Amino acid sequence: MDTAALAALILSAVLSLAGTLGAFILKHQVDTVRALQDRCAALEKAQAEQAQKAADTFLRREDCHRQTDAVLDRLKSIEDKLDRLVERGKP
């Protein structure tokens, strides 16, 4: 076997090894990306469930202010009515 054939054989073996190693690394990276995508989807689902739970459980700030204003308006009308009754009852 001459040196050119030996060099070609060694080069072929090195390139085959490099290709195999590259394929293994690429497969590992693809599996990692898929796992991260699955985890991201699970986190998005959990976040959506948590947001729905919060919407069902808690009162929005605007709704709270509106209800508080309604109670205060009602209390003001009761106070005004009591003041009128007191004024009517004075001799």
DSSP annotation string for 19-57: HHHHHHHHHHHHHHHHHHHHHHHHHHHHHHHHHHHHHHH
User: For position 91, what pLDDT does the model report?
Assistant: 59
Indicate the domain borders of the chain. 1-58, 59-91
User: For position 88, what pLDDT does the model report?
Assistant: 86
**pTM of the model as a whole:** 0.54
Give tens-digit pLDDT for 2-34: 898 989 999 999 999 999 999 999 999 999 999
Q: Tell which residue, 21, 24, 48, 18, has the closest CA to residue 32.
A: 24
Rg from Cα positions in the chain: 38
Give tens-digit pLDDT for 43-91: 999 999 999 998 888 888 999 999 999 999 999 999 999 999 988 876 5
Tokens matching residue 39: 């985890």
Tokens matching residue 9: 């054989």
Degrees to nearest 5, angle at CA 66 with 63 and 72:
140
User: For position 58, what pLDDT does the model report?
Assistant: 87
User: For position 55, what pLDDT does the model report?
Assistant: 85
